[in-house]
Amino acid sequence: MNRLIKELALIVLITQVLVLSAGCSGSSVSGKYYRDFGNYTSTTMYIELKRDMTYQTDGTAPGIISEGTYEVNGSIIAFYFINPLPDIFGGGGEETVSGTITGNTITIEGATYKK
């Protein structure tokens, strides 16, 4: 009986760890990043990363359209255009630009955004 309880507790623990780690992929980087010019940070130029792995911008980020999805792999962040006509043009998303994300900073084609 004790062995069964221990096995069930282990299964519950492993399940909780898997569920929590799967839900953290976008949440750890989510938030609004503002364009940083070194001595000045814009309050109107931004990239907002949402928990559901979508993004929204003010439209001025280099190489990025206003809305789409993103993917983080290590320190690389890739932004994707969502194709509204995937059946005709083959595919639901196409990478528009990629950059780096470290700590609270995103760098895309020389432009820096900070949380």
User: Is 110 part of any domain?
Assistant: yes
- Enter the tokens of residue 1: 């009986």
The CATH number of residue 71's host domain is 2.40.128
Q: Phi and psi for 88 in degrees, rounded to 5?
A: -80, -45
In a domain, 57, yes or no: yes
Number of domains in the chain: 1
* pLDDT tens for the 115 residues of the chain, in order: 677 666 655 565 565 544 334 334 456 899 999 999 999 999 999 999 999 999 999 888 888 778 889 999 999 999 987 765 555 555 556 778 899 999 899 999 999 999 9
Which domain covers residue 106, as residue numbers? 28-114
Q: Is 22 among the domain residues?
A: no
39-51 confidence digits (pLDDT tens): 999 999 999 999 9
Q: Is 23 a member of any domain?
A: no
